[in-house]
Amino acid sequence: MTPSFTSQVGAVVKRDLRRQRRRGDVLWITIPFGAVALLLMPLAVGTDAGLLQRIGPGMFWLTVMLFGVLVTVGRASVETQAQRDAASLLGLDPAAGYAGRSASAAALLLIYEVIVGAIAVVLYDIEVIGIPWLAVTLVLVAAGLGLLAALGASLVNSDSGGSALVPLLVAPLSVPLLLGATQAYEGLRLGSSILEWMLLMAAVVLSVAVVGVITARPLQES
Amino acid sequence: MKLLTFVHFLPVPAATLSELHDIGVTAGSTPILRGVDLVVRPGEVLGLFGANGAGKTTLLRVVATLLRPSAGVATVLGVDVTSPQRFDIRHRIGMIGHIPGLYPELTLGENLDFAASVAGVAPGGVEQALEAVGLLGAINRRAGASSHGMQRRAEFARELMLERDLLLLDEPHSALDQDAVELVNGLVGKIAAGGGAAILVSHDRGRVDAVADRSLELVAGSLR
């Protein structure tokens, strides 16, 4: 019996999240590191409450980009050639593998966003407005970054030490997500339309997903 | 007409499981394999031996469809290894390399559970396979905390569970105690008896000859 595409995606997500839970680097290293970065920023710019409130959302999204990329890259590069060969010979569809790795990375990023976001709200006294739209923004950024990191990791053969190049590939491509997320919050704060920013983020997510799925087979074999 | 169409789609038993003609593989400008011709028939256990760096592992990866040869034609289970159809036959090929392909953070049971989920094995298959290799008691032990021998046993359990047609084993007897060696030889014999085939690769000719129907030597990328 050949399992469906979604069953294979589910198996990869379960495997990756289990591995991450046991490794614990997101929970015990990356999240505290992000929180410390947010904590140190007021020491650099001063304690002007108004200024901190204004720059807080931007700072939060910046840490999401920086640490989020590191989380996903770290995750994506922990697979050895022997593990990749074994997964291939199970009949794992490369596109399902890509989708699963992206989904598990996105889930980890979402956890990061929620915890570090709550810390940012407390530290910078950020006004939480338009919660449903904020939730959609968090999901779109997590999905976009997860897809980008999985694509970046596929592009670079991690066994040859090339995983160091993944951030250089992923960071520029994540700029539209950072721009969309900060501008969407600003739009919510000012009461203006945020539709175009949401569409920008959705377009990035969709584009990377399509490119990732289409290139999954050739990249796996290259 | 209808009958003819039906007959056309009946699976035809392959006369050979793997055919390699004039295969060459290069890494940069360095030749790894040169002019390799190899035929593996159903029911056959083939031994391949050779010194370190002779190209044994590379040859296994070509047969496993994981490595495209730079020259020659390779057909495995009736499919050209460079064609897109190679993805459709991979689940019928098992390979155990000298480096374990298990995830160290997962337990032995979870590793097999992942394989079962991806390959669509019925529930219960994991426990049955681990029991067959004497590892049911270690089902909850993390692969990274298991000995090399236990990890190899777990990989044999995976291959047993997935019922492959072609089994490729790289140094299958290393790090195994006598019981496990007999277990591996039993698995190889079972696959061959079921119409499949196995290729065993080793630098130790004695161990290969004890199991194989015939043995070939690989010297500097060429078969002798």
> pLDDT by residue (tens digit) across B8-22?
334 444 578 899 999
Which chain A residues have a beta carbon less than 8 Å from that of B84? 217
Q: How far apart are alpha carbons A194 and B150 in whole angstroms?
A: 56
Interface of B with A (CB under 8 A): 61, 64, 66, 68, 84, 87, 90-91, 93-95, 97, 99-103, 105-106, 110, 114-115, 117-120, 122, 142, 155, 162
Within-domain flag for B131: no
Asked if B64 and A85 come within 8 Å (Cβ–Cβ), the reply is yes
Tell me which residue range forms the domain holding B201: 14-100+149-223
Name the residue facing B101 among A7, A12, A85 (closest C-beta): A85
Answer for the pair B64, B168: CB distance below 8 angstroms, yes or no: yes
d(CA A11, CA A13): 6
Please tell me which residue, B206 or A16, carries the higher pLDDT value: A16
pLDDT tens-digit profile of A197-220?
999 999 999 999 999 999 988 888
Residue in A2, A19, A89 nearest the CB of B120 = A2
**CB distance A7–B95 less than 8 Å?**
no
pLDDT at position B10, please? 40
CA distance B6 to chain A (A): 22
Q: Which residue in the set A7, A19, A82 is minimally distant from B100, CB to CB?
A: A82
Q: Domain tally for chain B?
A: 1
Over residues B29-55, mean pLDDT = 90
pTM, two decimal places: 0.87
Distance from CA of A103 to the nearest CA of B (A): 16
**Rounded to 5°, angle at Cα B46 from B186 and B131:** 20
Scan for tokens 């299958």, then name that residue: B172
Structural domain contains residue B216: yes
**Chain B positions in Cβ-Cβ contact with residue A22 (cut-off 8 Å):** 105-106, 142
Whether B185 is in a domain gets the answer: yes
Contact between chains at A14 and B105 (C-beta distance less than 8 A): no
Of B152, B104, B154, the residue nearest B131 (C-alpha): B154
CB contact under 8 A, B66 and A86: no
- Token couple for A200: 């920008």
pLDDT, average across residues B26-52: 90
Position B6 in a domain: no
A11–B contact, CB cutoff 8 A: yes
Residue stretches of chain A with pLDDT short of 50: 158-161
Instruction: Give CA–CA dist A218/B69, Å, rounded.
Output: 16
The answer to whether the Cα torsion of A101, A107, A108, A109 is positive or negative is positive
Q: Is the pLDDT of residue B44 over 90?
A: yes
- The domain that holds B192 is classified in CATH as 3.40.50.300
Within 8 A by CB and 6+ apart from A190, the residues are: none
Chain Cα centroid distance, residue B3: 37
- Name the closest residue on chain A to residue B89, using Cα atoms: A91
Strand pairing report for B71-76 and B30-40? unpaired
Q: Does the residue B191 lie in any domain? A: yes
Neighbouring CB atoms inside 10 A of A214's CB total 12
Q: Which of B79-83, B114-118, B172-176, B181-185 has the lowest mean pLDDT?
A: B172-176
Digit-coded pLDDT (tens) for B153-185: 999 999 999 989 999 999 888 778 888 888 888
Query: In whole angstroms, what is the distance from residue B60 CA to residue B104 CA?
Result: 24
Phi, psi of B48 (to 5 degrees): -125, 125
HSE-CB at A57 with a 13 A cutoff on CA atoms is: 21
Residue A76 pLDDT: 58
Using 50, 70 and 90 to split pLDDT, how confident is the model at B136?
A: very high
Q: Which of A12, A14, A91 sits opposite B90 (nearest CB)?
A: A91
Using a CB-CB cut-off of 8 Å, the residues of chain A touching B100 are 82
* A156-160, B139-143, B159-163, B205-209: range with lowest mean pLDDT: A156-160
- For A78, name the nearest residue in chain B, comparing CA atoms only: B103
When pLDDT is averaged across residues B193-209 and rounded to a whole number, the result is: 86
Q: Give the integer Cα–Cα distance in Å for B167 and B76.
A: 12
How far A8 CA lies from chain B's nearest CA (Å)?
Answer: 5
User: Is A88 near chain B, with CB under 8 Å?
Assistant: yes
- How many beta-carbon contacts under 8 Å exist across A and B? 82
> A127 phi and psi, to 5 degrees?
-75, 125
Residue in chain A lying closest to B113 (CA): A11
